[in-house]
Every structure is written in structure tokens, then in C-alpha cells.
Amino acid sequence: MCGRFSFNIPKEEVEQQFDVVLNQNLRESYNIAPTQHAYVITNENIQKLQYITWGLIPYWSNDGKNTGRLINARKEGIGGKPSFRIPIRKRRCIVLADSFYEWRRQGVEKIPYRISLKSGEALAMAGVWDVWFKNDYAIKSFSIITTPANKEMESVHNRMPVLFTEKELRTKWLSDIDLATTQAMLRTAEDDILNIYRISQKLNSPKNNMAELHQEVAEPPTLFD
């Protein structure tokens, strides 16, 4: 699962890593939550950065409401799910972030962790998007595709986003490919590429959105420390 992520990437870095030309300042956020907006690059226009809603609203939705229930799309069976059947074939995207967050349960507590790439590069998370129309009003939205966790992530959670760390994979994902090729790309990230550390439980509230959420918090000592 991926329930929160952050975006704090310099404009120049986004342009260089993702081959887009930006004419606007980018909005940073340290706590992007479901139903909020985030930056994506879609197969509709691979040179444009779009700012759309997190939580897929299927084109066939009756009311166009974003309930936040479709923030993630499990790779298993994605080709047959009603909400994702068309998007995985026709509407793929890359979701940009500098890190994502996950929680580890400790008794009744939920302990948050920040996950980023050891390389320091921006994250390119595999996603699907859709557009809902009514009376000339349109809402674009997206979902992040998840896969079983790699070795590093298993200590925190059993799921993680599909990550494209190579430019060639990002280009291929946004190209005209068939379903079999698409599904073959939905692989768990290799081991030993992630930086994972505990952060403040202030992250648990979407109302908190500040740089402090990126700061490491020490793990409590154990009986044997």
C-alpha cells in the first residue's frame, strides 16, 4: 500500500530527470494525502507535468465523487478490475515524489516511516489515470500501482509502489504497449536501493504538512540495548 507521499523536488531536477519543460513553480508538500492533488506525467502528453487528484474516479462513476478508496491499484488482477481495466490498457502515468510513507503497527500504535531512494533521485511510481466528464466539467484522477514488498520494505509493510528507477522503463511505461507487456513491467523493486527511517507521528494527521516530517526520529531502545 501507499497511503501518503511527499513532493519536494527542485524544478531543475524534475526537468532533467523526466524530460519535461516547466513554465510554472512547483508546489511542495510533505504530506500528500488521498483526495489531494499531486504531480503526474501521463501517456497523454509525456512532456507535460499535470497536477491532478489522487484517488481514481472511474469514467463510469455516477457522481464523480472521490471517496479516496481507489488510491492504490494492486498489480494482481489489475487487468480485470472494473475500475482499472481500461486505465491499465490506455491511461498509464508516472507519479512523482521524493519519498513515500508507510506505517508499521506496534501494538495499538501506527509508527510512520519515510522511504526514499538511496541514490537521492526522485521517485517515479507507476500509476494509472482516468477522466470523469459531466456537462463540460472534467476531473482527472490517478491511482498508484502496488506490488509485494522487497526485502527492505518487509520490515515495515508487505506492499510498496511499483518504482521505475530507469529512464528506459519510464519511457516504455508511457508508450503504446500491450497488456502483457504492461503487466510484465509491474515488478517489485530490487533490494538495497531504499533508504528507510522512522519519522514523527505528526505525519498521521493530514493537517500536518511541514519539513519536520522528513526528519528522522530515533527508534526507542530495546531491553538489550
Scored b (16 or more CB within 10 A) or e, 67-104 reads: eeebbbbbbeebeeeebbeebbeebbbbbbbbbbbbbe
Residue 223 is predicted with a pLDDT of 46
Which member of 2, 44, 168, 212 is catalytic?
Answer: 2
Residue 222 is predicted with a pLDDT of 56
Identify the residue with better confidence: 5 or 135: 5
* pLDDT greater than 60 at residue 11: yes
d(CA 76, CA 201): 31
Per residue in 66-103, pLDDT tens?
988 999 999 999 999 999 999 999 999 999 999 999 99
Taking alpha carbons only, the member of 208, 115, 196, 102 closest to residue 163 is 115
- Hey, which residues does 128 pair with through a beta bridge? 92, 143
Q: What is the model's pTM?
A: 0.95
- Hey, which residues does 114 pair with through a beta bridge? 101, 197
Which member of 102, 168, 212, 216 is catalytic?
Answer: 102
User: Identity (one letter) of the amino acid at 114?
Assistant: R
2 catalytic residue (yes or no): yes
Per residue in 39-53, pLDDT tens?
999 999 999 999 999
Please report the domains of the chain, with CATH numbers, ordered by start residue: 4-214 (3.90.1680.10)
Per residue in 152-199, pLDDT tens?
999 999 999 999 999 999 999 999 999 999 999 999 999 999 999 999
d(CA 69, CA 57): 9
Residue 221 is predicted with a pLDDT of 67
- Are the CB atoms for 127 and 40 separated by under 8 Å? yes
Mean pLDDT of 6-19: 96
Q: What percent of the chain has pLDDT over 90?
A: 88
Identify the residue with better confidence: 89 or 224: 89
102 catalytic residue (yes or no): yes
Grid coordinates representing 147 are 506490488
* CA atoms within 13 A of residue 186's CA, in its CB half-sphere: 26
* Cα distances (angstroms) measured from residue 218 to each of 10, 103, 111, 199: 28, 15, 12, 8
